[in-house]
Chain A
Amino acid sequence: MRAHGYAPSLRVRRPIWFRVRLADTLPHVPRSLTTRVSGWYAGFGRLGHFLADMARGLRDVHTWPAQTVAQLLRIGVNSVPIALFVAAFTGVVLALQASYTFTGAVPLYFVGTLVGKTIMLELGPVLTGLVLAGRVGANTAAELGTMRVTEQVDALETLAYDPFAYLVIPRVVASTVMFPVVVALAMAMGVLTGLVTAVNLLDLSTVEFVRGLKLFYQFKDIWFGLVKSMSFGFAIGVVGCMKGLAVRRGAQEVGRATTDAVVLGAKLILVLDAVWAVLLL
């Protein structure tokens, strides 16, 4: 068995258990299904190798911390405005819809409860996550894909750098750390616009809104949302880097990698969201 260096690690490798050919072992199952399932298998195998390479890259402490700082700033600057924009409008709509739904049957201060709970538990993390899947995921995949095509990743390797330490870890760490920060800001913004809307359009006082907000509030509402967004950030970072580095050549492949990163990132966010709900709620 050949020991693998960096460059081969960027290639598509098949997981060990892939040798069990599903199509051969299960001849009566439709082929389209077996190829799809073994496709997933291969996908998981690649993910496993990718994570293992990342873990190994962590040892290179001379390389990744410095790069991470730059990525943190970049993600922050790129994502905060759009995340706040989305959250602001979400807050407005939630307040109005809450009052519309209650139609006088429920005390109006429950608007505060509904806005707070929904923003903190669900819409803050997930909507922000989906927006950032587009922003950060696409950006990462396109950047690394272009670096592959123009042989910048190869050049990096010939300078004896590990691309995982230099490119991947900083991006994954940065998005894992920055997502909760951005989501926290988005939560604050959403609650704030909900409050402003309630006060100005719904004849609700600030005091009443806050009373509703506090009604069923638990600290868990916040940390649950933030832990979720960390996992979203990790997933988006990994997917963006994987798709980007998998590019071999051509602008077309960069385009495809970018789209794939966004679509897969968005799917993963929804799946992770459900998983967290099952595990922790």
Chain B
Amino acid sequence: MIAFREVYKAFGPNRVLEGLSLEVPDGQTTVILGYSGSGKSVALKHIVGLLEPDRGAVEVDGAAVHELDRDGLAALRSRVGYVFQFAALFDSMTVAGNLALGLRRQRLADREIGERTDEALSLVGLEGTQDLYPAELSGGMRKRVGIARAIALRPRYILYDEPTTGLDPVTASVMNQLMVRTRETLGVTSVVVTHDLKSAYTVGDRIALLYRGVIRQVGTVEQIQRSHDPIVRQFIEGRPEAAADAEQAAAETAP
């Protein structure tokens, strides 16, 4: 299980996470919604130790990530697949090379690496792109290669940072189905960061809204859709004119 326990993180004067607490139950997909710049990517990076909390802890399988030694961290990372917001493909390697790198780290045989690469690429609808370089791909294709790179590892956890942003609606649906399927067939526990509501409702078992450094509300899709919290309503209805009301309401309901 992944659990955020009162995580604080600031970059200089910019306080991003302010006591974030959230549990991600095993075998489920938890979606983190939030405005642009609210710290979703920052939160995700804490799970694999790319960032360290100023205070609090992120626990994965009961161990605080920032307290792991190198080997422990490497072991944790080999259980987690990470889909970067901007794909973060290795531009000096082909698509196949990108997928193979993580598999080679796990000391798989070449034949198995080839099979898993082909399989993952066909799952994201990119068969035949093995020998292309990232620079030769469109933005959406790169994103899908990023997803394939994570899925090919068959990890226990997959962290998706905005997997459907920038994809056309049909491809986005395909990716949503893929995320649902990986959970069903492989029993993967996922955290999906997004502001694509359709995607959130499709893939999410639970949805959490990150607002001002804390989780404003967490619940099932129905609970979120029926929420009376003005901040949540404003977000899911996408009404900027409600912003002022919501601000005020937030000020009143804030602890």
Query: Out of B66, B86, B91, B102, which one reaches A160, CB within 8 Å?
Result: B102
Report B75-130 residues with CB < 8 Å from chain A CB: 75, 77-78, 80-82, 84, 86, 88-91, 101-102, 105, 107
- Among A4-12, A36-44, A89-97, A265-273, the stretch that binds chain B is A4-12
- Among B47-55, B198-206, B241-249, the stretch that binds chain A is B47-55
- Asked whether A160 and B77 contact (CB < 8 A) given A2-B52, A3-B68, the answer is yes
How far, in angstroms, from A6 to B69 measured CA to CA in the complex?
Answer: 9
Chain A residue, CB-CB nearest to B49: A5
* Cβ of A84 to closest chain B Cβ, rounded Å: 27
Contacts of B215 in A (CB 8 A): none
Chain A residue, CB-CB nearest to B80: A158
- Asked whether A152 and B90 contact (CB < 8 A) given A159-B105, A160-B74, the answer is yes
Judged by a CB distance under 8 angstroms, whether B73 is at the interface is yes
Are B49 and A154 in contact, with the CB atoms below 8 A? no
- Asked whether A159 and B88 contact (CB < 8 A) given A5-B49, A5-B68, A5-B70, the answer is no
How far, in angstroms, from A159 to B45 measured CA to CA in the complex?
Answer: 13
Contacts of A21 in B (CB 8 A): none
* Cβ of B125 to closest chain A Cβ, rounded Å: 21
Contacts of B102 in A (CB 8 A): 159-160
Are B67 and A8 in contact, with the CB atoms below 8 A? no
Contacts of B66 in A (CB 8 A): 2, 5, 8
Number of interface residues of B (CB under 8 A): 30
Are B70 and A56 in contact, with the CB atoms below 8 A? yes
Contacts of B52 in A (CB 8 A): 2, 7-8
Chain B residue, CB-CB nearest to A56: B70
Judged by a CB distance under 8 angstroms, whether A155 is at the interface is yes
Are B68 and A151 in contact, with the CB atoms below 8 A? no
Interface size class of A (residues with CB under 8 A): 20 to 34
Are A155 and B105 in contact, with the CB atoms below 8 A? no
How far, in angstroms, from A139 to B17 measured CA to CA in the complex?
Answer: 37
Are A151 and B101 in contact, with the CB atoms below 8 A? no
Are B101 and A159 in contact, with the CB atoms below 8 A? yes
Are B77 and A158 in contact, with the CB atoms below 8 A? yes
Contacts of A6 in B (CB 8 A): 49, 70, 73
Contacts of A157 in B (CB 8 A): 48, 50, 77
How far, in angstroms, from A151 to B45 measured CA to CA in the complex?
Answer: 11
Judged by a CB distance under 8 angstroms, whether A161 is at the interface is yes
Are A162 and B70 in contact, with the CB atoms below 8 A? yes
* Cβ of B46 to closest chain A Cβ, rounded Å: 10
* Cβ of A64 to closest chain B Cβ, rounded Å: 13
Are A150 and B50 in contact, with the CB atoms below 8 A? no
* Cβ of A214 to closest chain B Cβ, rounded Å: 47
* Cβ of B150 to closest chain A Cβ, rounded Å: 9
Are B105 and A152 in contact, with the CB atoms below 8 A? no
* Cβ of B162 to closest chain A Cβ, rounded Å: 13
- Asked whether A150 and B77 contact (CB < 8 A) given A56-B70, A159-B105, A162-B70, the answer is no
- Asked whether A150 and B91 contact (CB < 8 A) given A159-B102, A159-B105, the answer is yes
Contacts of B73 in A (CB 8 A): 5-6
Contacts of B67 in A (CB 8 A): 2-3
Contacts of B70 in A (CB 8 A): 5-6, 56, 162
Contacts of A161 in B (CB 8 A): 101, 105
- Asked whether A154 and B84 contact (CB < 8 A) given A5-B49, A160-B77, the answer is yes
Contacts of A3 in B (CB 8 A): 67-69
- Asked whether A155 and B90 contact (CB < 8 A) given A6-B73, A160-B78, the answer is yes
Contacts of A158 in B (CB 8 A): 48, 50, 77, 80-82
Chain B residue, CB-CB nearest to A158: B82
How far, in angstroms, from A157 to B153 measured CA to CA in the complex?
Answer: 14
- Asked whether A151 and B86 contact (CB < 8 A) given A158-B77, A159-B77, A160-B77, the answer is yes
Q: Mark B209-234, 1 if CB is under 8 A from A, else 0.
A: 00000000000000000000000000
Are A152 and B50 in contact, with the CB atoms below 8 A? no
How far, in angstroms, from A119 to B153 measured CA to CA in the complex?
Answer: 54
Are B84 and A155 in contact, with the CB atoms below 8 A? yes
Query: Out of B50, B75, B91, B101, which one reaches A154, CB within 8 Å?
Result: B50
A–B pairs, 12, beta carbons within 8 Å: A2-B66, A3-B69, A6-B49, A6-B73, A7-B49, A7-B52, A56-B70, A152-B88, A155-B88, A158-B48, A158-B77, A159-B102
Interface residues of chain B, those whose CB is within 8 Å of chain A, are 45, 48-52, 66-70, 73-75, 77-78, 80-82, 84, 86, 88-91, 101-102, 105, 107, 153
Q: Beyond the given A155-B88, A161-B105, please list 12 additional residue pairs across the A-B interface where CB-CB is below 8 A.
A: A2-B52, A3-B67, A3-B69, A7-B49, A7-B51, A151-B86, A151-B88, A154-B45, A157-B77, A160-B74, A160-B105, A162-B70
Give the 8 A-B CB pairs with smallest separation, nearest first.
Answer: A5-B73, A151-B88, A159-B102, A155-B88, A158-B82, A160-B77, A160-B78, A160-B74
